[in-house]
Structure 1
């Protein structure tokens, strides 16, 4: 990966050779997860509980709070906070090729199935952040079963979801991409936008924004009508605008 600083010909970041290579790798990852899935990473070896449920799965509809918002499908605590000004203290675990955060009793994932698939995040800014990070980690797993689960369980039902499901294909492993920081761009009872900064193994840095909605007691991604799973990743000059947060 090449340097991301401006060159003497004043090329824009999108046209620099280093960016083109980095973006191509990211798009490979993205394609590896649901039509335009996304990037992945590295980290420590997962511990023994990674393949065990952290709580019992719930099949009944989640209850509604006094404000009319559905409670977490697995009973994780909600929060009235609407901002996240500092990085939460987190345990990190390798999922696919990316290190992702976990706090199963407070932020999530509250449910990890027997194949390690992670769902149920708290109705809070921290829960939204953890949901976004874990979704990217699971996006680094390129097998068709995981891609289908991501679409069926962690995206909003829509025409875009159906388009993505119709275009699932087996994907290979993705190059190492690691979470490096975040911004919580917006947050409300019903929606959040989480901006995740990442570093590729060659040192280039970039970011991607994830639009989340609270639905059926969990944070889920909105898929565009064309089946695009994430907004296009964009390269950054540095990470100065982001709250540092990393598991490696």
Structure 2
């Protein structure tokens, strides 16, 4: 999948799990078995708390311990997320002369326990929020090329952007209120009624239905009343019985 296709699919994703599955499939095609998405700090703009291992493709015992924060003090990848940008690879760390003895031991431990060729992508959000995507392999392979790293960074950065947009939309919907008449217009529209037919059901003119329809489309960020009704159903703002 090209980056453009990935961006399109992310924009079309209706929930976070679908979005993460898109990312996992792409990084898997680039040779990575493990994919772990974490919120390393609170995200106040989204009203989300810190969440290690928010989405995980597969759970080895080492990944589980990593998510529990047992290595935070010596994990150079985690430090990179707070103080660096973009991608950090295991191969780059191995050539560093600034690692402590504890960090070197940590790196050796990760490989001995079957988490090879780790790559971490630092993700920076609003108000100082920090997140990460950790990638790894079951078996040691060739270090990823520069081109692969650029693609991994682009994939993860856009995944995070799409995730924040999705959660932001969910937050907006959570606080959205509909008037009784707006809810009725949406419910009849969800049943497939035309504007003229909705007017008959609600004893209002088609012009009034059109006014409510345009207002609802703007409020729900939809192209038309049909799309607005679908959005409202998906968000639990209306309930329709047939």
- TM exceeds 0.5? no
| Larger gyration radius, structure 1 or structure 2 | 2
Bigger RCO (CA 8 Å, 6+ sep): 1
Q: Taking structure 1 as the reference length, what is the TM-score of the superposition?
A: 0.26
More strand by share: 1
More helix by share: 2
